[in-house]
Amino acid sequence: MNKVNLLDISIDNISLSNLLEELTQKGGFIVTPNVDHLVKLQKDADFLKTYKIADYVVCDSKIIQYALKFLGTPIQEKISGSDLLPAFYHYNKNNENIKIFLLGGDESVPHSARININKKVEREIVVCALSPSFGFENNESECLAIIDKINESSANVLAIGVGAPKQEKWILKYRSLLPNIKIFLPIGATLDFEAGYKPRSPKWISNIGLEWFYRLISEPKRLWKRYLIDSFPFLLKLIQYRFNLYRSNPIIELKSLPLGMLLNQAGLLTDDKLLLLLNIQKQKNYQIKLGKIAEELKLVSPETINFFAEELPKIIDLNQVWNIENYLQKAHLITPLQIDLLLRKQSQLSNSKSLTQLIVEEGYLSQQTLNWFIKFRDLLKSHK
């Protein structure tokens, strides 16, 4: 699949018809970047992580489409979440294998959306609809109850409309507990449109890139800050990107990396082994964490997996700058006894070799792994 890049986000250059075909056949998790997303992604590592693990990243905004044309990398078309859901259920109108669960919206919104959608396709394509409480994402017991309802339904598609980045983060956190869901669609305000509770802009307004303005005048109190203030940095970032002056935040980038990518960059998983793990994880519908698979195949020790998955983010947050050997011991890549042996050897050498040089020479770890930890230490130093 062709991809284009904007502010270091890879966007799939795909038509709606091809996307619908692939989603229906293969399943997957889709995210739909707009200006608001791209601004939030600059400073929210967890949100950025959802983009890195998503199967499809499709342009949600005419403004983004214009921006890509400005950069000389035009895409085929805009595919907003508000267009995607109706296109998806019409495409699968007669596909009895597709069954949708709607999650989101206030009170009767998802239930009204369910009735309206089913009327349009003339079958029960939406099998269940649920309105979560405000702040439900912070209530673990409610989230688990929602998961039970989804699993008890016959749905294999989850359309969740609770706003970004909440909806994408919720999918990332709970996807492994939803074995029957093959397609994840974060759709924002689409449920309000489908329920008839909010008006969608006329097609011609959307086509010229002014849907945001239509929504602003429809809900000024809720949206004025997002569209008039929060989204302003996008223009500056776009100009910087155009003239090769844009620099992403390296700390946010590092914290957003999924475990497999981290281990790969650190030289602890080859490209082939990472691909193997990702394929196994996909075959198991993401019900098993990648680290667990790596542990079972004895590709990486459980202690090292725990370091990269659990301890490394804390080290970054606390900005703990140590000697390289301290990181290596924390990651269980070298033992204190091995360090002692290397220090003795170092003292006996006539030429001065650093401890890190000896670690590589003695075969305790690769130069790639050592370089990664040096780069990591230097990154923390630069942000001290």
Query: Domains of the chain: which residue ranges?
Result: 3-242, 252-382
pLDDT, residue 101, reads: 98
Structure tokens belonging to residue 335 = 């033992």
CA distances from 106 to 94, 109, 129, 196, 206 (A): 29, 6, 11, 13, 25
Is residue 295 a contact partner of residue 280, using CB atoms and an 8 Å limit?
no
Q: How does DSSP classify residue 230?
A: I
3-state DSSP assignment of residue 102: strand
pLDDT band at 107 (very low <50, low <70, confident <90, very high): confident
143-152 per-position pLDDT tens digit: 999 999 999 9
Residue 363: pLDDT above 70? yes
Is residue 10 a contact partner of residue 4, using CB atoms and an 8 Å limit?
yes
pLDDT band at 224 (very low <50, low <70, confident <90, very high): low
Residues 6+ apart with CB under 8 A from 243: none
How big, in percent rounded to 5, are the helix, strand and coil portions of the chain? 60, 10, 35
3-state DSSP assignment of residue 67: helix
Mean pLDDT of all residues in the chain?
A: 92
242-294 per-position pLDDT tens digit: 999 999 999 999 999 999 999 999 999 999 999 999 999 989 889 999 999 99
Place of tokens 């230097």: 378
Is residue 181 a contact partner of residue 149, using CB atoms and an 8 Å limit?
no
Angle between helices 140-152 and 166-174 (to 10 degrees): 70
pLDDT band at 206 (very low <50, low <70, confident <90, very high): confident
Question: The pTM is what?
Answer: 0.89
pLDDT, residue 235, reads: 87
* 87-101 average pLDDT score: 97
212-223 per-position pLDDT tens digit: 666 667 777 776
Share of the chain above pLDDT 90, in %: 77
Amino acid at residue number 340:
D
Phi and psi torsions of 29, nearest 5°:
-110, 125
